[in-house]
Amino acid sequence: MFRFLLAIFLCIPLGATAQTAWPQHPVRFIVPFAAGGPVDISTRLIAKAMSEILNQSIVVENRPGAGGNVGAAVVSKAEPDGYTFLISGVAPLATNAHLYSNLTYRPREDFQAVSTFVRYPQAMAVSPKLGVRNMKQLRDLALASPNRINFGSAGVGTSGHLIMSSFLHRSGLDMVHVPYKGGSSTTLALMRGDVDVAIDGLPSFTSQGPASQLPVLGVSTAERWPLTPDLPTIAEAASLPGFDFSSWVMLAAPRNTPDSIVSRLAEVADEALKSAALQSRLKDMGMLTVGGSREKAEHFLASESEKWKSIIEAAEVKLD
């Protein structure tokens, strides 16, 4: 009997015993935004650390367009074999489902959360030419001159646009919206004085360069951001209790990706994000690592989707 079983074992192709080994070749992380932004840069740092743990390359590929919809649609149609994943900011998985009625993918049905990489606040900055240095001065100027002040954003329906809309609604202020194509264009317009106010990711205003000289009036999180403790929150500066928004970077898998792969990738991400060197690099960008289990990421995504849904409905913003 032993010889019979041994003979059967020896007849099994070598590849069959390695079917469960993952990954066998490079993994793709699709970033649905242009290169050079906070999501792209942070992802490349984290992917490098994860690839070292996996002992396999992770290729970061940019597929920008339509507020993240192009790249998200690509991943939603990918084979769920553990080799193609989505890197999402707030838009593809949390806001776009409530902004568009004709998406070519279903954010909650087509994806499962794997890991929340980082969180970072949005921040409100003003043009030096506006002549204000705090929230009270901005509020007084806006009340005295309704619709004279304009605010820029990276586009209609972006986080900056929606957060500013919520701020104006709750503050009883009126400003004119000037959408641009991307956060970098908005920041340049703010520095030139083409727009008066803008809300964008805090890293856009704290990184080294001319933008770091822009007056920042507050951050969008409920509590002061640990990395910039001297900056007030918008909630406290404008007396808006409960005003709480943050940006984040999340790793998501196409639905039906094997549970063993999703769990393993979540573990790898969590291990990478505990690296002191990586945390230091991300802190320099104004970001804090999150990590944790896939269940934690899924719960966070569900709560974020519901929160943004209520904000979008209140702002009455639709993009089709």
pTM: 0.86
CATH of region 25-120+247-315: 3.40.190.150
pLDDT digits (tens, 9 = 90+) for 235-244: 999 999 999 9
Residue 7 has pLDDT above 60, yes or no: no
Dihedral over Cα of 266, 271, 272, 275: its sign: positive
Span 222-268, pLDDT tens digits: 999 999 999 999 999 999 999 999 999 999 999 999 999 999 999 99
Instruction: Give the fold, CATH level 3, of 121-237.
Output: D-Maltodextrin-Binding Protein; domain 2 (3.40.190)
Going 29 to 35 to 41 to 44, the CA torsion angle's sign is positive
State residue 49's pLDDT score: 98
pLDDT tens per residue, range 30-63: 999 888 888 999 999 999 999 999 999 999 999 9
Query: Percent of the chain scored above 90 by pLDDT?
Result: 76
Query: How confident is the model at residue 11, as a pLDDT?
Result: 53
Q: Is the peptide bond before 229 cis (omega within 30 degrees of 0)?
A: no
- The CB-side HSE value for 68 (13 A sphere, CA atoms) comes to 28
Residue 128: pLDDT band with limits 50, 70, 90: very high
Q: In this structure, what DSSP letter does residue 233 have?
A: B
Q: Which helix (H) or strand (E) element contains residue 111? A: strand 111-126
Average pLDDT (86-114) is: 95
Which pLDDT does position 37 carry in this prediction? 83
Q: Virtual CA dihedral for 260, 263, 265, 266, nearest 10 degrees?
A: 180
Contacts with 32 (C-beta within 8 Å, 6 or more apart), sequence order:
62, 63, 64, 65, 68, 69, 70, 71, 72, 74, 86, 87, 88, 92
Delimit the domains of the chain by residue range: 25-120+247-315, 121-237
Same CATH fold assignment for domains 25-120+247-315 and 121-237: yes
Q: What is the pLDDT of residues 288-316, one digit of tens each?
A: 999 999 999 999 999 999 999 988 988 78
Higher local confidence (pLDDT), 65 or 61:
61
